[in-house]
A and B are shown apart, each in its own frame.
Chain A
Amino acid sequence: MKVEAKVLLSLGLFFGIMCAVYWNWSLENAGGVMMFAGMLLCFLPGGYYYWWSRRMKARPEDNPYATQAEGAGVVGSFPGTSIWPFTLGMGAFFVVLALVFGIWFLVPGLALVVWALLGGTAEGRRGGHV
């Protein structure tokens, strides 16, 4: 976890320095704000990982001498198949078409989106449709 944290924190640090130099030199706000936001986007997860990396034991994937047996067990619950991403994607498609061709496209679009959100959540609670 330490390396992951350091990657993000060092990127964030660089963006911060670059932001300070750029903003003070150019006095141009759009780029300054975007670089500042880039710094925050790196510090937020990077700081979280760093905070955790000091409090947890090294995971098997962080230990250069780990054996495969150390990783045995359940990695996580992976869904087998699911129709809901497709439903949600089509819903988003219709919502975007509503932006262009007419507001009535929102009706099937939002219906599909809501249906997919409900279905996907229910599926997630059941542990996935396999």
Chain B
Amino acid sequence: MTDVVNPPATAPAEDHAHDEHHGPTGILKWMTTTDHKIIGLSYTVTSVLMLVIGGLFAEIIRGQLASPNSSLVSLAQYNELFTMHGSVMIYLFAGPFAFGGLANIIVPIQIGAPDMAFPRLNALSYWLYLTGAITMLLGFFTAGGAANFGWVAYAPLSNSINTPGAGADLWIGGLLLTGFSAIFTGVNLTATIFYLRAPGMTMFRMPIFTWNMLVTGILILLAFPVLTAGLVMLYCDRHFGTHIYSVAGGGVPVLWQHIFWFWGHPEVYILALPFFGMVTEIIAVFSRKPVFGYKGMVFATLSIAALSLGVWAHHMFTTGVVLLPFFSIMSLLIAVPTGIKIFNWIGTMWRGEVWFSTAMLMALGFLVTFLVGGLTGIYLASPPLDFFTHDTYFVVAHFHSVVMALVLGGMGGLYYWGPKITGYLLNERIGKIQFWFLFIGTQVFTVPQYILGLLGMPRRIAVYPNNPQWKALNDWSSLGAALIGISTILFVINVIVSWKKYPAGDNPWDAQTLEWFTTSPPPHHNFYRLPQIRSERPTWDYNHPEHKSLAHGQHDTAVHADEVKVP
């Protein structure tokens, strides 16, 4: 049955594939495209550029902290650097890379759709993201410098008296633009997944990555409008004389924290869920097994989304005005679905034929690093421990473990899907060296910070007392940051060295999901033909009719795949 191939479900595909030859070329093509693959690639390249910019800020910060009482940068410059490091990494890299970049390219192909549901809205999302990024970074070219109130912009520090100047306004403006960009992408992802699936692609046959992107899309729609509204109110406070966040006029400063974190905590899952999805795909493919506990994974993702709306004030335990038991219980509960995911990832690898490709190594690095970040998150969910460690390097180390895990997962995603997007593989040898630099660098970078935090070093300080213990730990952390920097350079080298060198073919990893059924790179509107979809692994079923997927709960043990060439 699996070898029956029907004509594509998308009749207009042929016409448009033909039309594209007459379309604009060069920069005009980039400006006018509505093809989700080109938009996604633009997103990916822009966001990796943001990773490099944010990474440079981080290297300067670690350079400053490598010795006590250092004067590499001034105190004012340091404030700008840590603000813009956080802002660039969270607002301009991690989210857009996942839901604007890889998801934009991969989700429509994984469900057999010709494009995103609203292609022109998708293009608008990219332009708002790009202009938002430019707006935010323009702050460095203004007289007062970039925003310097931390990436969370707490009131009253962010009002017009404490942080006057164009840099702060540009930060708000940039976030308004990228906020709308994210909302439009959320609309697009949700509508695409609900309405453009191929025949037979039921909801419970969608790849886990697509499921995670659906939930991410819903979370974006729940969370981002709150931030955008909060930013408009902040701007009004700064310029139009309202007193929403100022005590003087009868406002409530802590309201900003509520609004910010009501966006900010779901945002953590908006950042993390796409990478969970990538890692799930990678681990299943390189263990040559279906995802272990598919439905458990889906319900875990939905539970994370459900709980994520009720945990925001665990960032505000020390304000003294939040309901500690509620937020503590909810934050501890969210560890359960996350634990289910980790259990399922291990279950997927269990008795599989694990192939340690670069993508798989990155996914395993993600698993270890995320576990460290997640477990320390459980400590922080307990108010007594949080009172002790709040605003110390312990918190910095916790979220850097988490986000560096996402960087590892994202790199895995690039190595895994890069061949599908460009048609060419990346060099595996350089990739593995890059992995070890990134993985070891991450641990050397974060572990000393946990100890520093417990020793009492506060975050966001540019200079610290000349204490040999603190200095040694900061040196280790700076060394780790340098290793991570080298790994990024290795990635750039790898892209240059492998440029159009190793043709990938349609399915270099002998993967399972629909995006590997089409050509690499996929044609305009994605498919010349579609296979019969009878499980969550249609490409695998087509290529291995003797090892077809069984109904849920009856999976066979590892199956032997054909030899696959690697560069």
Q: Which residues of A line the B interface, CB within 8 A?
A: 3-4, 7-8, 10-11, 14-15, 18, 21-22, 25-26, 28, 30-31, 34-35, 38, 41-42, 49, 60-75, 77-86, 88-90, 92-93, 96-97, 99-101, 120, 130
Most buried by B among A67, A100, A130: A100
A96-B123 contact in complex given A11-B306, A22-B310, A61-B201, C-beta closer than 8 Å: no
> How many whole Å from A118's CB to the nearest CB in chain B?
14
The answer to whether A34 touches B322 (Cβ under 8 A) is no
> How many whole Å from B381's CB to the nearest CB in chain A?
16
Bound together, the chains give a CA A30 to CA B23 distance in angstroms of 50
Is residue B182 contacting chain A, with contact meaning CB distance below 8 A? no
> How many whole Å from A91's CB to the nearest CB in chain B?
10
> Which residues from A are CB-within-8-Å of B119?
78-79, 82
The answer to whether A99 touches B173 (Cβ under 8 A) is yes
Is residue B9 contacting chain A, with contact meaning CB distance below 8 A? yes
Per-position binary interface string of chain B over residues 300-322, scored 1 when its CB falls under 8 Å from any chain A CB and 0 otherwise: 00100110011011000000011
4 new A-B contacts at CB < 8 Å, known A61-B201, A74-B11, A81-B34: A30-B258, A72-B8, A79-B34, A82-B123
> How many whole Å from A130's CB to the nearest CB in chain B?
5
Bound together, the chains give a CA A81 to CA B31 distance in angstroms of 9
Residue of A nearest to B255 (CB): A30
- CB-contact partner of A69 in B7, B12, B34, B309, under 8 A: B7
Residue of B nearest to A64 (CB): B202
The answer to whether A81 touches B197 (Cβ under 8 A) is no
Bound together, the chains give a CA A88 to CA B177 distance in angstroms of 12
Is residue B339 contacting chain A, with contact meaning CB distance below 8 A? no
The answer to whether A81 touches B199 (Cβ under 8 A) is no
Bound together, the chains give a CA A77 to CA B127 distance in angstroms of 22
> Which residues from A are CB-within-8-Å of B321?
28
Residue of A nearest to B180 (CB): A92
Stretch from B63-71, B128-136, B408-416 forming part of the interface with A: B128-136
The answer to whether A100 touches B166 (Cβ under 8 A) is yes
> Which residues from A are CB-within-8-Å of B533?
66
Is residue B121 contacting chain A, with contact meaning CB distance below 8 A? yes
The answer to whether A85 touches B309 (Cβ under 8 A) is no
Residue of B nearest to A79 (CB): B34
The answer to whether A61 touches B326 (Cβ under 8 A) is no
> Which residues from A are CB-within-8-Å of B114?
75, 78
The answer to whether B130 touches A89 (Cβ under 8 A) is yes
A61-B177 contact in complex given A38-B222, A73-B11, C-beta closer than 8 Å: no
19 contacts between A and B (CB under 8 A): A11-B302, A18-B330, A31-B258, A31-B262, A42-B222, A64-B200, A67-B200, A68-B7, A68-B8, A68-B198, A72-B6, A72-B9, A75-B12, A81-B33, A82-B34, A88-B127, A99-B169, A101-B166, A130-B23
Residue of A nearest to B312 (CB): A31
Most buried by B among A4, A30, A61: A61
Q: Which residues of B line the A interface, CB within 8 A?
A: 4-12, 16, 19-20, 23-24, 29, 31-34, 113-115, 119-121, 123-124, 126-128, 130-132, 134-135, 166, 169-170, 172-174, 176-177, 180, 194, 196-205, 214, 218, 221-222, 226, 235, 239, 255, 258-259, 262, 302, 305-306, 309-310, 312-313, 321-323, 326, 330, 525, 529-534
The answer to whether B170 touches A72 (Cβ under 8 A) is no
The answer to whether B199 touches A67 (Cβ under 8 A) is yes
> How many whole Å from B197's CB to the nearest CB in chain A?
4
The answer to whether A41 touches B6 (Cβ under 8 A) is no
Most buried by A among B32, B259, B322: B32
- CB-contact partner of A71 in B5, B198, B222, under 8 A: B198
> Which residues from B are CB-within-8-Å of A35?
309-310
Bound together, the chains give a CA A100 to CA B132 distance in angstroms of 13
Residue of A nearest to B175 (CB): A96
> Which residues from A are CB-within-8-Å of B218?
7-8, 11, 42
What are the 7 tightest A-B residue pairs by CB atom distance, in nearest-first order?
Answer: A89-B127, A68-B6, A71-B9, A60-B199, A85-B123, A93-B131, A71-B199
A26-B199 contact in complex given A73-B11, A85-B124, A99-B235, C-beta closer than 8 Å: no
Bound together, the chains give a CA A71 to CA B128 distance in angstroms of 34
Residue of A nearest to B306 (CB): A14
The answer to whether A130 touches B19 (Cβ under 8 A) is yes
> Which residues from B are CB-within-8-Å of A88?
124, 127
- CB-contact partner of A74 in B12, B131, B330, under 8 A: B12
Most buried by B among A28, A64, A85: A85
Most buried by A among B29, B115, B176, B222: B222
> Which residues from A are CB-within-8-Å of B255?
30
> How many whole Å from A106's CB to the nearest CB in chain B?
13
Bound together, the chains give a CA A4 to CA B302 distance in angstroms of 12
The answer to whether A63 touches B31 (Cβ under 8 A) is no
> Which residues from B are CB-within-8-Å of A63?
199-200, 202
Residue of A nearest to B8 (CB): A68
The answer to whether A65 touches B200 (Cβ under 8 A) is yes
> Which residues from B are CB-within-8-Å of A78?
12, 16, 34, 114-115, 119, 525
- CB-contact partner of B135 in A61, A70, A93, under 8 A: A93
Residue of A nearest to B173 (CB): A96
The answer to whether B326 touches A97 (Cβ under 8 A) is no
- CB-contact partner of B198 in A7, A21, A61, under 8 A: A61
> Which residues from B are CB-within-8-Å of A64?
200, 202, 205, 534
The answer to whether B202 touches A85 (Cβ under 8 A) is no
- CB-contact partner of A80 in B10, B20, B310, under 8 A: B20
A120-B204 contact in complex given A41-B222, A68-B7, A93-B135, C-beta closer than 8 Å: no
Residue of A nearest to B194 (CB): A4
Bound together, the chains give a CA A18 to CA B34 distance in angstroms of 40
> Which residues from B are CB-within-8-Å of A71?
9, 198-199
> Which residues from A are CB-within-8-Å of B529?
68
> Which residues from B are CB-within-8-Å of A77?
12
Bound together, the chains give a CA A52 to CA B115 distance in angstroms of 24
Bound together, the chains give a CA A97 to CA B248 distance in angstroms of 29
Bound together, the chains give a CA A33 to CA B391 distance in angstroms of 28
> Which residues from A are CB-within-8-Å of B135?
93, 96-97
Bound together, the chains give a CA A68 to CA B6 distance in angstroms of 6
> Which residues from B are CB-within-8-Å of A67?
4, 6, 199-200, 532
